[in-house]
Amino acid sequence: MHDVTVTSNAVDALKLLQECPDYDAVLCNVIMPETSGIDLFRALTRKQLEYAARVIFMTGGAFLPKMEAFLESVDQPVLRNPFKTDKLLQVREDFIQAAN
């Protein structure tokens, strides 16, 4: 069982991650209000590298070529919407096991 914390934007997510370092994984939409998931990932690589390694991206598939190129350039899992809950749970478990 895992606890889930939800934020609606990357700025709030970054603040939470700085205040509470106990998250196993960070599920992050590529496109979010104010700051993109890509920008959040880049901020994490600069400030909290251990969290950058825990990011799982989610996307609806409607993005610019530069976003697709970014996702292909990083070694993070990507869940493409729509996805089933089973897929999310499997990616999460694989991800957490690989981190341990």
- Domain spans of the chain? 10-99
Domain 10-99: CATH class, spelled out: alpha beta
Q: Which residue has the higher pLDDT, 30 or 49?
A: 30
Residue 75 burial (CB count, 10 A): 5
Sheet hosting strand 78-80, strand order edge to edge: 26-29, 55-59, 78-80
**Phi/psi of residue 44, nearest 5 degrees:** -65, -35
- 10-19 and 37-47 helices cross at what angle (nearest 10)? 30
Percent of the chain with pLDDT over 70: 93
Q: Please report the pLDDT score of residue 4 as a whole number.
A: 86
φ, ψ (nearest 5 deg) of residue 57: -85, 145
Residue 68 near residue 38, CB atoms below 8 Å: no
Residue pLDDT, tens place only, 54-87: 899 998 876 688 888 999 999 899 998 888 989 9
What pLDDT does 33 receive?
Answer: 79
Q: Distance between CA atoms of 41 and 39, rounded to whole angstroms?
A: 5
Output the pTM of the full model.
Answer: 0.85
